[in-house]
Amino acid sequence: MRKKRAAPSDTPSPSPVVGQCGLCERQVQQTSRHHLVPREEGGRYGPVVELCQPCHSTVHLLLDNKELARHYNTIERLREAEELQKYLHWVRRSRVERISNRRARR
């Protein structure tokens, strides 16, 4: 006797949530480690924060490593950065998990 196969569900299964982005504070599938003081500026063993890919790419697009090391070396200061306010307002209302790597546009 053959077993019947279950019909595939039309509703997609929800994506597993892995963690929370330290910048936008959204629950996301994947995060990456961001050095609050960039490694090139002496932060190799310094504090890190987990960021979602859109936030990580945007931070490095809008702020250079010297600015990050001097002015935005804590997550609180990074959240308050004037350069990121428009982006943060947008991403907090969005469900985006990935954006293209835009760093090459500089």
Transcribe the chain into DSSP letters: -PPPPPPPPSSPPPPPP-EE-TTT--EES--EEEESS-GGGT-TTS-EEEE-HHHHHHHHHHS-HHHHHHH--SHHHHHT-GGGHHHHHHHHT---------GGG-
Q: Which pair of structure tokens corresponds to residue 46?
A: 């310094």
pTM for this prediction: 0.76
Using one digit for the tens of pLDDT, what is the confidence trace for 58-95? 999 999 999 999 999 999 999 999 999 999 999 999 88
Whole-number pLDDT of residue 4: 58
Quick check: 106 pLDDT over 50? Answer: no
